[in-house]
Chains A and B, each alone.
Chain A
Amino acid sequence: MNFITELGQYMIENSSELFALTVEHIAMVAYGIFFALLVGIPLGIIAAKYEKLAPIIISITSILQLVPSLAMLAILMLYFGLGFQTMVIGLFLYSLMPIVRNTYVGIKEVDDSIIEAGKGSGMTAFQLLTKLQFPLSIPFLMAGLRVASVIAIAVACIGPYIGAEGLGKEIISGISLQSDVKIYAGAIPATIIAIIADVALGKVEKKTKQRMA
């Protein structure tokens, strides 16, 4: 009980700083995901349209995700230096795989009869993509986005090691100062963000799916 009041007191006293860290945490994730969408969706489409490129694109993005996060960020730091932008690049690379793969699968999963109907109605290859295949792959894309966001929020916690701030700052300084309160003050908001992202994007995903069932 004592600990909880202590934690509460700490969080209230440092609320403005914690808030700033939370905002920065979200910003890193948002930028990373934004660029991942920007690059990942076209890559997924290319993979779906050109079957021969698909294994190459999918395996490269998969390998990127297999690199341990600390190692990946350290390597990136060698080239891009310390700071926010390095973290964004790291999160971008991490988020690529779920987005590329789900876009690819989503387009592949579109029912053949729908494509045949589109073709038979006189749609060009580009119209098939923009009017049918891409809109119909959105529920899959949303699932990918959700996975990517949760991963990115977690990975962003090791930001301070490469000079980026975010909620990881509280956690890591808590480790070095052996302060339970600091660790919790960073961990709780980070977990809440992850839960909110998961639930909210899950709802969006469900909504897009419903209509198409």
Chain B
Amino acid sequence: MIQLKNINKYYEDGFQALKAINLTFEEGKVNVLIGPSGCGKTTTMKLLNRLTDFTDGQILIDEKNIQEINPIELRRQMGYVIQNIGLFPHMTISENVATVPKLLKWDKQKIKEKVDALLTMVNLDPDIYRNRYPSELSGGQQQRIGVIRALAAEPSTILMDEPFSALDPISREQLQDELTRLQKEINKTIIFVTHDMDEAIKIADQIILMKDGQVVQKGSPQELLTNPANEFVKEFIGEERLGNALPPLSEFIIKDFPRISMEQRTEEAIDLMATNQLVEIPVVDGKGEYKGIVNLYQALNNKKATLAELVDDSIEAITRKVDTNFLMKKFHESKLMIFPVQSEQGKLEGIVEREDLYRFLQQFYERKSGGSVWN
């Protein structure tokens, strides 16, 4: 895990390049730094392998202060992929890939095996490509080599500085897909700099949006899409993409939905449901805590039973933090017409109606097929 604590960076002319940056890059996650040019995203990344330094604050790598680590050692433990690929033109592909293992003085046989395994991993036949020179490869192939060169010494962290931005759109998309696939196998902590929002949404576990040396918002792609912090974030993400994301669950919660108390009589429950034309109603206890759901037909069939006997307590409530997609799945798996939402303290907050959600979805996709492209 890498932590940046209150990092500030001033240039000699007094310009403040980074302002109070606090970030955590978790193990095995893809962290994307994004923002307009000059926002400090590349500078932030280069702090991590000490290609640039900060003025004050603290960076910890697995609890160890980065300034106590020798920069040369540090860089050998971290993969680095740069925008312009930067393969060494006078070395063969296998020599390029073997750069860091050679610096670390690995055994020759071990290096060869590693190089072959990596080439195979990115679908380049070692027998064909091993002894070629970078100039004999296409741009997309070259950047594949750039990526596996960074992986060669098995670093736990990989820094990627706009690695795909110089490629044509088709290669770019292929490499993004490949990276996503690779990440499932290798599970590295990746710090990825880009200015391309589509790319960020596609590959990120965490997106960190920066502007003028500050972090404007950080969170999962879903969080950014559904809850943009301010106008800048909205503008940067773009109307079209915002339209592509489902709104957060909280927008579907009906707070004043009728509810019945456990102490009330069954007849009262039936009346309440009949008046409101409901099939199901949530049941709460005296403290307003969620207890389960009562079904109209079961109540009608067992008018003499108490609510406590009728209540179906196997239906677990969800919290408002749950993803809208997750609830859709829940609805899909059950026959329930409503789904209870409870607060963290267990109080019934409201419910989401199946009909309401489906009506929204219908409009959502209608709008989409009539307008922008859905991908």
Chain A interface residues (CB < 8 Å from chain B): 111, 113-114, 116-124, 127, 131-132, 135-136, 211-213
Distance of B81 from chain A, by nearest CB (Å): 9
A120 touching B84, Cβ below 8 Å:
no
A211 touching B135, Cβ below 8 Å:
yes
Give which listed residue, A120, A124, A127, A136, contacts B159 with CB less than 8 A.
Answer: A120
Asked if B80 is at the interface of the complex by the 8 Å CB criterion, the answer is yes
Question: What would 24 A/B residue contacts be, using CB atoms closer than 8 Å?
Answer: A113-B84, A113-B85, A116-B51, A116-B86, A117-B85, A118-B86, A119-B51, A120-B49, A120-B80, A121-B75, A121-B103, A122-B75, A122-B77, A122-B100, A123-B103, A124-B72, A131-B88, A135-B90, A136-B89, A136-B90, A211-B133, A211-B135, A212-B90, A213-B135
B89 touching A122, Cβ below 8 Å:
no
B103 touching A211, Cβ below 8 Å:
no
Chain A residues whose C-beta falls within 8 Å of the C-beta of B135 in the assembled complex: 211-213
Interface size class of B (residues with CB under 8 A): 20 to 34
B100 touching A121, Cβ below 8 Å:
yes
A122 touching B90, Cβ below 8 Å:
no
Distance of A159 from chain B, by nearest CB (Å): 38
Q: Closest residue of chain A to B46, judged by CB?
A: A120
Distance of B159 from chain A, by nearest CB (Å): 7
Within B130-171, the residues touching A (CB, 8 Å) are 133, 135, 146, 149, 159
B103 touching A117, Cβ below 8 Å:
no
Chain B residues whose C-beta falls within 8 Å of the C-beta of A122 in the assembled complex: 72-77, 100, 103
Chain A residues whose C-beta falls within 8 Å of the C-beta of B74 in the assembled complex: 122
Q: Could you tell me the distance between the alpha carbons of A211 and B95 in the complex, rounded to whole angstroms?
A: 14
Chain B residues whose C-beta falls within 8 Å of the C-beta of A120 in the assembled complex: 49, 51, 75, 80, 82, 159
Distance of B345 from chain A, by nearest CB (Å): 50
Per-position contact with A for B53-97: 1 when CB-CB < 8 Å, else 0?
Answer: 000000000000000000011111100101111111110000000
Q: Could you tell me the distance between the alpha carbons of A116 and B51 in the complex, rounded to whole angstroms?
A: 9
**Contact (A121, B76) CB under 8 Å given A113-B83, A113-B85:** yes
A117 touching B72, Cβ below 8 Å:
no
Asked if B99 is at the interface of the complex by the 8 Å CB criterion, the answer is yes
Chain B residues whose C-beta falls within 8 Å of the C-beta of A114 in the assembled complex: 86-89
Which residue, A117, A119, A123, A212, has most C-beta atoms of chain B within 10 A? A117
Q: Could you tell me the distance between the alpha carbons of A127 and B103 in the complex, rounded to whole angstroms?
A: 9
Give which listed residue, B85, B88, B89, contacts A118 with CB less than 8 A.
Answer: B88
Chain A residues whose C-beta falls within 8 Å of the C-beta of B99 in the assembled complex: 118, 121
Chain B residues whose C-beta falls within 8 Å of the C-beta of A127 in the assembled complex: 103
Chain A residues whose C-beta falls within 8 Å of the C-beta of B90 in the assembled complex: 135-136, 211-212
A119 touching B75, Cβ below 8 Å:
yes
Q: Top 9 closest A-B pairs, CB basis?
A: A117-B86, A120-B80, A122-B76, A113-B84, A122-B75, A113-B86, A212-B89, A121-B99, A135-B90
A132 touching B88, Cβ below 8 Å:
yes
Q: Could you tell me the distance between the alpha carbons of A140 and B75 in the complex, rounded to whole angstroms?
A: 30
Q: Could you tell me the distance between the alpha carbons of A25 and B149 in the complex, rounded to whole angstroms?
A: 50
A111 touching B86, Cβ below 8 Å:
yes
Q: Could you tell me the distance between the alpha carbons of A135 and B90 in the complex, rounded to whole angstroms?
A: 7
Q: Could you tell me the distance between the alpha carbons of A120 and B82 in the complex, rounded to whole angstroms?
A: 9
Q: Could you tell me the distance between the alpha carbons of A108 and B307 in the complex, rounded to whole angstroms?
A: 85
Q: Could you tell me the distance between the alpha carbons of A111 and B90 in the complex, rounded to whole angstroms?
A: 12
Within B231-276, the residues touching A (CB, 8 Å) are none
Q: Could you tell me the distance between the alpha carbons of A79 and B100 in the complex, rounded to whole angstroms?
A: 52
Chain B residues whose C-beta falls within 8 Å of the C-beta of A116 in the assembled complex: 51, 82, 86
Q: Closest residue of chain B to A119, judged by CB?
A: B51
Chain B residues whose C-beta falls within 8 Å of the C-beta of A131 in the assembled complex: 88
Distance of A50 from chain B, by nearest CB (Å): 21
Distance of B83 from chain A, by nearest CB (Å): 7
